[in-house]
Amino acid sequence: MTADVDELVPYGGVRADAAWADEVRRLAADRDAVLLAHNYQLPEIQEVADHTGDSLALSRIAAASDASTIVFCGVHFMAETAKILAPEKTVLIPDARAGCSLADSITAEQLRGWKAQHPGAVVVSYVNTTAEVKAETDICCTSSNAVDVVASVPADREVLFCPDQFLGAHVKRETGRENLHIWAGECHVHAGINGPELAERAAADPDADLFIHPECGCATSALYLAGEGAVPEDKVKILSTGDMLTAARDTRAESVLVATEVGMLHQLRKAAPEIDFRAVNDRASCRYMKMITPAALLRSLTDGVDEVDVDPDTAARARDSVRRMVEIGNPGGGE
C-alpha cells in the first residue's frame, strides 16, 4: 500500500543541467539500460529518457528492448507491468515509494471478496492496478479499449469493473450494460478536475477543443454538459493520454483545454507548438509521479536501485490478463 503522499520526501538537491543529462546517459549506457518516462513525469525526466509515453506503450517498449535493464520513470504499478511483460530483465524504478492512489483503491483480498459475492462474473481491471490484482483479473483494459473489452464479454455474464469509477461509468454508458458492477475507486488527481470547473473554463474559451481523460472526475460531467448544451458536443474529446497526442496533431483548434495530469502538457506542446494548450486545473499534479526527481534518477543509475520484483506465479497469472487485453480492440493508451 502506498504511503500517505504528504509523508514522502522526494530525493532532491540535484540540478537537471547538461552535465546531469550527460552523466545520466553515461550511467545508463554502462548499465545497458533503456530509460522510459511516463507522460506525467517532470519535463527534464521526459527529455533525458529514450522513450516517453503512456503506461502500456512503455511496457511494450520494455518487453521489445534489447537492453538488459529497464529504468522506469513512472509509478510502481507501471514498473511492475514492465516486469510482468519482461520477466528476464532487471527493472528499476528511481523511487519505489512512488505509488498510485487509484491502484491502491482495491487490494487483491478485496477483489477476491467481491468475486465471492458474484460467482461466475468476469473481472475487468484497468491497468492502474497492482500485480496481485492483475493476477485475480480475467481481462485488463486501457482507457482506449475498455469499452471493447467489456463488449467482448457474453451479454448474460456479470462483469466486475475496477478500480476506477469514472472510467466504469463511461463504459457502462457506452455499452448500456446493466450487469456491469463498478468498484468505487478513484485517483485523487483526476477526481480533483471537476465538471463545474470545466464548464467555466469552456465558457471562457468557446472555440477551444476539450481533451478529457476518461479517469477525470469531469469526464462524465463533460458528456452530460455537452448533452445539456453547456459545452459544445463536437468540442468534447474523451481520450487516453496516447490518443491526446494524435488528436493534438490533427485538431484545427487554436487552443485546447486539457483535463488530465499537468505533465501531459509538455508532450502536447512539443507535438503541436502552434496550439495554446491549457490545463483545466493547474493544480492537477501527481505528487507520486513527481517523486522521480533528477537526484532519484541519478541514484537509481549509480546504485542499481530500486529493483522491482514480482513473484513468478503472480506474474504468470497477471501476464495472462494483460495478454487478453492486448488481443481485444485497440489496446493503445492507458494512463
Q: Which residues bind ligand SF4 (CB under 6 A)?
A: 75, 100-102, 128, 187, 189-190, 261, 286, 288-289, 335
Nearer to ligand SF4, 67 or 189 (CB): 189
Nearer to ligand SF4, 183 or 288 (CB): 288
- Indicate the length of the chain as a whole number: 335
Phi then psi for residue 223, to 5 deg, are -70, -40
The CA–CA distances, whole Å, from 162 to 141, 166, 181, 209, 255 equal: 10, 10, 9, 29, 34
CA–CA separation, 332 and 322 (whole Å) = 12
Identify whether the C-beta of residue 210 lies closer than 8 Å to the C-beta of residue 202.
Answer: yes
Nearer to ligand SF4, 79 or 225 (CB): 79
The per-residue b/e assignment along 285-324, b for 16 or more CB within 10 angstroms, e otherwise, is bbebbbbbbbbbbbbbbeeeebebebeeebbebbbebbeb
Distance of closest approach, residue 130 Cβ to ligand SF4, in angstroms:
12
Nearer to ligand SF4, 185 or 294 (CB): 185
Residue keyed to cell 486501457: 142
Distance of closest approach, residue 298 Cβ to ligand SF4, in angstroms:
22
Distance of closest approach, residue 62 Cβ to ligand SF4, in angstroms:
17
Cell of 186: 478513484
The alpha carbon torsion through 331, 33, 260, 162 (nearest 10 deg) reads: 50
Nearer to ligand SF4, 153 or 168 (CB): 168
Q: Taking the mean position of all CA atoms in its chain, how far away is CA 255? A: 24
CA–CA separation, 316 and 296 (whole Å) = 30
Distance of closest approach, residue 30 Cβ to ligand SF4, in angstroms:
29
Distance of closest approach, residue 288 Cβ to ligand SF4, in angstroms:
5
Phi then psi for residue 121, to 5 deg, are -70, 150
Nearer to ligand SF4, 128 or 165 (CB): 128
CA–CA separation, 335 and 332 (whole Å) = 10
Nearer to ligand SF4, 91 or 100 (CB): 100
